[in-house]
Amino acid sequence: LLGHSDSVRCVAVSPDGRQLCSASSDSTIRRWDAESGAPIGKPMTGHSDWVQCGAYCPDSMRIVSGADDCTVRLWDASTGESLGVPLYGHIEWVWCVAFSPDGACIASGSDDATIRLWDSATGAHLATLEGDSGSVESLCFSPDRIHLVSGSLDNTVQIWNLETRKLERTLRGHSDMVRAVAISPSGRYIAAGSDDETIRIWDAQTGEAVGAPLRGHTGYVYSVAFSPDGRSLVVISGSNDCSIRIWDAITGAIVVEPLLGHSRTVTCVAISPDGRHFCSASLDRTIRRWDTESGASIGKPMSGHRDIVNTIAYSPGATRIVSGANDRTVRLWDVSTGEALGAPLEGHMGIVSSVAFSPDGACIASGSWDNTIRLWDSATGAHLETLKGHSVRVSSVCFSPDRIHLVSGSHDKTVRIWNVQARQLVRTLRGHSYDVNSVIVSPSGRYIASGSCDNTIRIWDAQTDNEVGAPLTGHTNYIQSVAFSPDGRSIVSGSMDGTLRVWDLFE
């Protein structure tokens, strides 16, 4: 979603799920359609400095924002118009804002170490809560609206009684600033995430810690949220550990462990057609199998390649795996035992970059940096044919659903269509201005999608060779992978710009 001219500081989703808003260092707030991603109206302007935070009211009709201009502002979520005058009172940056569950009250936390309460209808200042000795970083109302919880730079979590407008208790335990707080749907538990890399759970009624701190993150914990049933605590870290972890809030147990086993970087993963398991390939030269539901490792690592494993694919029946590696070989494996099936398939003179099974499982195609594609009999391992035509390395291969054609992408900037039965080049599709990294054929066989280092995706009619519409633009770096949805109506793309994008082909 493009539009802001500076960094995005905060994103909030409306309770009805229909729109979201983003706050930015460009001093604006923007609204977006949650389904289509389209911008809604013009940017909401009025703040004179970075907008740090935004939140929707419970009925999704209004948005509240806080900024470095020390003000809080209210906005009409449907029109984008400012509601009333700015709410003045804070003397430092406003870091966090929240609506009460009934929408009647707004709380704002500031770098001035105070929390201010406001009447959301009139904008009147109701109270100033003082007690934190550091910047207030996070706020959350209890479901019954009686309490407000705050997290602070002073390493504490504080519980405020909104009826008496006094501090009720201070929760200590973190050894660094508290960036995020959340209250369970029942109001019973409080969770806090901190720069000390832990999450702590407290009983909101007694102030007692519930179990030991939740440890596992290796960076600051920026966000915490309870699941709707209150049993799962989802912790999202915006730190250098780049992970999302799921915890059971009652027991403190990690619901899903990180999948550990490879000793070096994972290069690719493939999911079995039946969805029951998946496999991963690595720089450590091995392939590992995993249970999809439990995440448990299956059997021993599949070893045999003498160099980095680049590519893996399942057979249609999910009984075999094919792999290609920097050792220039293709290997077949038994999924149930993990044993190699036969000898390595040798013949390529360069790195094997892509492998694919034909839809009937009888044939394997492998693409290589030697500029060729090789076809193999998957039962015997016999070499069937070498397809020559690309002038630079082959990066991607994919069979058509009817098995008649094979599509390849190359760093020669072309997509090529081959007749597998005749074992000949049928046509060459030109249009990309840089390397083609990924190709895929739609489930119907009608369309081909290609992703390139020119940062675009192109759609081709497989029958006529014509491009379908204009190139899909939006990524800001090389496109590494493309895939069709099962119904063929959407494409997902992955890029070195760090994003995944979903494209509707028939809007």
**Torsion 229-231-232-235 (CA) sign:** positive
- Per-residue model confidence (pLDDT) at position 246: 67
**Residue finishing a domain among 130, 148, 176:** 130
Of 159, 178, 183, 180, the closest CA to residue 170 belongs to 159
Does one domain contain both 270 and 125?
no
- Per-residue model confidence (pLDDT) at position 501: 86
Domain assignment present for residue 18? The answer is: yes
In which residue ranges of the chain is pLDDT below 50? Answer: 235-240, 242, 507
For 359-362, the CB contacts below 8 A with 24+ separation are 359/316, 359/399, 359/401, 359/402, 359/403, 360/316, 360/403, 361/315, 361/316, 361/317, 361/320
Residue with token string 């014509």: 466
8 A C-beta contact, residue 32 and residue 13: no
**Residue finishing a domain among 105, 130, 155:** 130
- Per-residue model confidence (pLDDT) at position 259: 66
8 A C-beta contact, residue 452 and residue 408: no
Domain assignment present for residue 187? The answer is: no
The amino acid that residue 469 corresponds to is G
CA dihedral 55, 59, 61, 65 (to 10 degrees): -10
- For 346, what's the count of Cα atoms within 13 Å in the CB-facing half-sphere? 6
The torsion angles phi and psi of 64, rounded to 5 degrees, stand at -115, 145
- Number of domains comprising the chain: 2
DSSP-assigned letter for residue 257: -
- Is this structure's pTM higher than 0.75? no
**Dist CA 455 CA 453 (whole Å):** 5
**Residue finishing a domain among 111, 130, 149:** 130
**Dist CA 401 CA 443 (whole Å):** 6
Vertex 316, ends 314 and 317: CA angle to 5°? Answer: 100
Question: Which distant-in-sequence residues (6+ apart) come within 8 Å of 122 by Cβ?
Answer: none
Q: What is the 3-state secondary structure (H, E, C) of 15-44?
A: CCCCEEEEEECCCEEEEEECCCCCEEEEEE
Sheet holding 383-388, edge to edge: 352-357, 363-368, 372-377, 383-388
Domain assignment present for residue 214? The answer is: no
Domain assignment present for residue 411? The answer is: yes
- What CATH number corresponds to the domain at position 32? 2.130.10.10
Question: Which distant-in-sequence residues (6+ apart) come within 8 Å of 372 by Cβ?
Answer: 348, 386, 387, 388, 390, 394
- Per-residue model confidence (pLDDT) at position 48: 95
Domain assignment present for residue 204? The answer is: no
Of 34, 86, 36, the closest CA to residue 60 belongs to 34
Burial of 240 (0-12, 13-18, 19+ CB in 10 A): exposed
**Dist CA 391 CA 55 (whole Å):** 54
8 A C-beta contact, residue 54 and residue 97: yes
Q: Domain residues for 12?
A: 1-130
Question: Which distant-in-sequence residues (6+ apart) come within 8 Å of 159 by Cβ?
Answer: 147, 148, 149, 167, 168, 169, 170, 171, 190, 204, 207
Cα 136 to Cα 15, 103, 197, 426: the distances in Å are 24, 21, 18, 65
**Dist CA 156 CA 150 (whole Å):** 8
- Per-residue model confidence (pLDDT) at position 230: 54
Domain assignment present for residue 233? The answer is: no
Of 391, 386, 382, the closest CA to residue 366 belongs to 386
- Per-residue model confidence (pLDDT) at position 241: 54
**Dist CA 360 CA 363 (whole Å):** 8
Of 368, 355, 381, the closest CA to residue 328 belongs to 368
Residues β-bridged to residue 150: 139, 158
Domain assignment present for residue 449? The answer is: yes
Domain assignment present for residue 174? The answer is: no
